[in-house]
Each structure stands twice: as C-alpha cells, then as structure tokens.
Amino acid sequence: KAGVTQTPRYLIKTRGQQVTLSCSPISGHRSVSWYQQTPGQGLQFLFEYFSETQRNKGNFPGRFSGRQFSNSRSEMNVSTLELGDSALYLCASSLGSSETGELFFGEGSRLTVL
C-alpha cells in the first residue's frame, strides 16, 4: 500500500510569508501528527489530529496551525514566517487507536526561510 506522502518536498519562502504543507496518510490511518526537525533539536512535536480533531498539541506559537479533512489528509500552516522556521517538517500517520501504535513517517517537506 502507498506510504505517507508529503507535498511539497522543498520550498523557499521569505520572512513574513505564510506556507501550507500537506500530508496524505496511509489508507485507513486516522491519526496524523506533525514534527519539526532541525539539526540538534530532534523531532519536536507540533500537533496531532485524529478524526478531524486536534487531539494533542506541542509547545509551538500560534503561528503554527493545522487541520485534518474527512479523508484524513492533513495540512499544516505557518504564518508570518521567521528565519528560525527553516526546518524539515515531517508528518506521521498511525491508526491512532492505541498508545503503542507505530508511526509511519513521510519523507518531509524542507522549508527554507530567507
């Protein structure tokens, strides 16, 4: 079956702009979570959506937002971009019904803010 798909894979923005990233989960997966990855900072959790509802949220400013559609596809939006937002943004999907569920990651969207 198809894996987790993220688009776009690469993008360049300037400070102050906004960006929308998309994530299509594995078929049947209802949970989509988003992570920011920067060198030396590991995988920092942004938020998780399950059945169109935000179920968990990390410690990121309100400029970071997301949503999930009825087909489980998810988008995340970053408004008023800052240089420090340059990172690899990974999404992961899972069934979302178990505390021990495996996360399946996409290849990520690499955002560069100039």
Q: Does 8 bind another protein (CB under 8 A)?
A: no
Q: Residues 31 to 90: which contact another protein by CB under 8 A?
A: 31, 33, 35, 40-45, 48, 50, 55-56, 90
Q: Which is nearer to another protein, 25 or 96 (CB)?
A: 96
Residues 6+ positions from 83 with CB-CB distance below 8 Å: 15, 113, 114
Q: How far is the CB of 16 from another protein (least distance, A)?
A: 30
Would you list the DSSP string of 41-63? TEEEEEEEEETTEEEEE-S--TT
Among 2, 28, 62, 102, binds another protein (CB under 8 A): 102
Among 93, 94, 111, 113, binds another protein (CB under 8 A): 94
The residue length of the chain stands at 114
Q: How far is the CB of 40 from another protein (least distance, A)?
A: 7
User: 67, exposed or middle or buried, with CB in 10 Å at 0-12, 13-18, 19+?
Assistant: middle
- Looking at the DSSP bridge assignments, the partners of residue 20 are 77
CA distance 103 to 16: 32
Binding site for another protein (CB under 8 A): 4, 31, 33, 35, 40-45, 48, 50, 55-56, 90, 94, 96-103, 105-108
